[in-house]
Amino acid sequence: MSKPRILVARAVFPETLARLEQHFEVEHNQADQVWSKQDLAARLRGKAGAFTTGTERIDAEVLAACPELKVCANMAVGYNNFDVPAMTARKVLATNTPDVLTETTADFGFALLMATARRVTESEHYLRAGKWTKWSYDMFAGAEVHGSTLGILGMGRIGQGIAKRGAHGFGMDVIYHNRSRLSPDLEAACKARYVSKEELLETADHLVLVLPYSAESHHTIGAAELAQMKPTATLVNIARGGIVDDGALAAALRDRRIAAAGLDVFEGEPKVHPDLLTVPNVVLTPHIASATVQTRRAMADLAADNLIGFLVNGRPLTPLNPEVLS
C-alpha cells in the first residue's frame, strides 16, 4: 500500500523529517522558503496532511484548492493561522502542541519581564557603544520586580506558569483577568486574585499578556488601555502580535506614558513597527518564547505524533476540532 502524502511546510529537525518519512511520502522545505499563499496551496494539492507552523495560513481559500487534505498539524500551541470553522466544515482535522511548551514559555515571559523592568538590553547597548565612562547613582535605575504587583491578562496554562513564578519566586502580588475565572484550587496554587480588566490595567506594576489572538482580542491593548496603566508600569507581550496596537504602544513609550515594554510578538511580524525600533525603553525579541532545543523538539515531536496518530492510526493526540473524527 502506498504511503499517505504530506507536506512539511517549513524546515524542521532532520530527526523529525526522518520519522515522518518512515510513515509518509514527504515533500519538505528544508531550504525554509516562506511560500506565498498560492505556492502553499499548490504544494498542498494532493497531500493528505500538512505539518505547519504559525506562519502558514490555512483558510477557506487554501482548503478549497486542496480537497484531499485531511489534517493540518501546527507546531505551535497558538492556532490563529488556522480558520478552524472552515477546516471543520471541510472535515479537515486541526491539531496544535499544548502543554509541551508551557514552562519554557513562562520562563521566557519572566525573562522578558526582568529584562524590561531592569533595563537589561538598553544598558547593554549603552555599554557596547562605549558610553560607559563612569558609574552614577541613578544609571539605568529601573522598576522593582520582587514584591511588586504582577498583572496577567489571559490565565491559561502559560499565564498560570508566570503567576507561580511571580508569586512563589519573587513574592509578587498576582492579579489576573481572564474570560473565565479559575477554580479556587487553581487560584490558590497560583496565589492569584481575579480582578476586572480595568483594575488590572490600573493596578499592575508589570502587565504580562498571554491571551490567544482572535478577532475579539485584536488591539486589546490600545491607546485607551495604555492611558489607564501606571506611568511607571511595564508591559510584556508574549501572546500574539495584533493583541497590542504597536503604533499606540510606541507613542506611549516615546511619551513615557508607561515606563517600558518587552515584546516577543508583533503586528505583521517579522516586520516590526518602525517607531518601536527608535524608542529606547523597549526590549524586542523575534518570537522566541518557546525556543529551547528541548521544547522545540517536543513541539515538533507532538506535531509529528498528531500526523502519524491520525493518518496511520486514526487517533490524533491533541485535536482542536475533534468533531471531524466522528
Residues that bind ligand 8YV (CB under 6 A): 53-54, 75-78, 101, 290
240 a catalytic residue: yes
For 277-283, which contacts have Cβ atoms below 8 Å and span 24 or more sequence positions? 278/250, 279/250, 279/253, 279/254, 280/122, 280/125, 281/119, 281/122, 281/253, 281/256, 282/116, 282/250, 282/253, 283/112, 283/115, 283/116, 283/120, 283/121, 283/122
269 classed as catalytic? yes
Rounded alpha-carbon distances, angstroms, from residue 128 to 118, 154, 325: 17, 37, 56
Q: Which is nearer to ligand 8YV, 76 or 211 (CB)?
A: 76
Q: How far is the CB of 223 from ligand 8YV (least distance, A)?
A: 25
276 versus 300: smaller Cβ distance to ligand 8YV: 300
> CB of 296: closest distance to ligand 8YV in angstroms?
7
Q: What is the DSSP string of 186-210?
A: HHHHHTEEE--HHHHHHH-SEEEE-
Please report how close the Cβ of residue 271 comes to ligand 8YV at its closest, in angstroms. Answer: 16
Q: Between 87 and 279, whose beta carbon lies closer to ligand 8YV? A: 87
Sheet holding 5-8, edge to edge: 25-27, 5-8, 49-52, 71-74, 93-95
Rg for the chain, CA atoms, rounded: 21
CA distance 193 to 216: 24
C-beta separation of 153 from 209 below 8 A: yes
Instruction: Compute how many other C-beta atoms are within 10 angstroms of the C-beta atom of residue 44.
Output: 27
Q: What does the block give as the cell for 124?
A: 547593554
Q: Which is nearer to ligand 8YV, 169 or 286 (CB)?
A: 286
Kindly state the smallest distance separating residue 314's Cβ from ligand 8YV, in Å.
Answer: 25
Nearer to ligand 8YV, 54 or 156 (CB): 54
**Active-site hit among 5, 90, 218, 287:** 287
- What's the DSSP call for residue 21? H
C-alpha cell at 294: 528541548
**Of 5, 254, 269, 297, which is the active-site residue?**
269
CB 78 → ligand 8YV: shortest distance, Å? 3
* C-alpha distance from residue 42 to each of 83, 212, 259 (Å): 18, 29, 47
Q: Which amino acid makes up residue 87?
A: M
CB of 142 to ligand 8YV, least distance (A): 27
Residue nearer to ligand 8YV on the CB measure, 76 or 304: 76
Q: Which of 240, 267, 273, 296 is catalytic?
A: 240
Name the residues annotated as catalytic.
Answer: 240, 269, 287
